[in-house]
Amino acid sequence: MTDIRINVVKAALQLTPDQQKYWPPIEDAIRARAKDRQARFAEMEKRVAELREGNPVEVLRDRDTVDFLQRRADALAQRSADLKKLAAAWEPLYKTLTPDQQQRMAFVMLYVLHEVRNAAEERTEDEED
């Protein structure tokens, strides 16, 4: 999916040859963010599987709320760092985009965010089943 998203964004922007030189750091940041997101999902799925294996009463009784909050804070910090890296990677290219390219970028970003949200909702529904 990451390759498809990268190709969609790049195709939508229709970068000029001068703008192409700014693209590699953006692609690297997108890939790193996707890799970190996948690692977070894998860890979350592992935790959920471990919790499901246990007795529900024991799981609730032995729940460590502080540990949960620390894990959540770590995940949010990682997401924040990844997003800052992505923004920093985009900045040099964004300064060279025409108004039309900026509009296409905004549209594509809204579309990608919508797709990511839908995928997350589907994942949640699958886990509930």
pLDDT digits (tens, 9 = 90+) for 12-29: 999 999 999 999 999 999
Sequence-ordered list of residues with C-beta below 8 angstroms from that of 95, at least 6 positions apart, any chain: none
Sequence-ordered list of residues with C-beta below 8 angstroms from that of 41, at least 6 positions apart, any chain: 123
Contact 93, 19 (CB under 8 A): yes
pLDDT classification of 64: cutoffs 50, 70, 90:
confident
Contacts within 8 Å (CB) and 24+ apart, 8-13:
8/108, 8/112, 9/105, 9/108, 9/112, 12/104, 12/105, 12/107, 12/108, 13/97, 13/101, 13/104, 13/105, 13/108
User: In whole angstroms, what separates CA 99 from the centre of its chain?
Assistant: 26
Q: Please state which of the ranges 3-7, 52-56, 87-91 shows the lowest mean pLDDT.
A: 52-56
pTM: 0.74
Q: Return the beta strands (E) in the chain as ranges.
A: none
What are the CA-CA distances from residue 42 to residues 35, 45, 85, 116 (Å)?
11, 5, 22, 16
Question: How is residue 124 written in tokens?
Answer: 């949640």
User: Per-residue pLDDT for 101 more than 90?
Assistant: yes
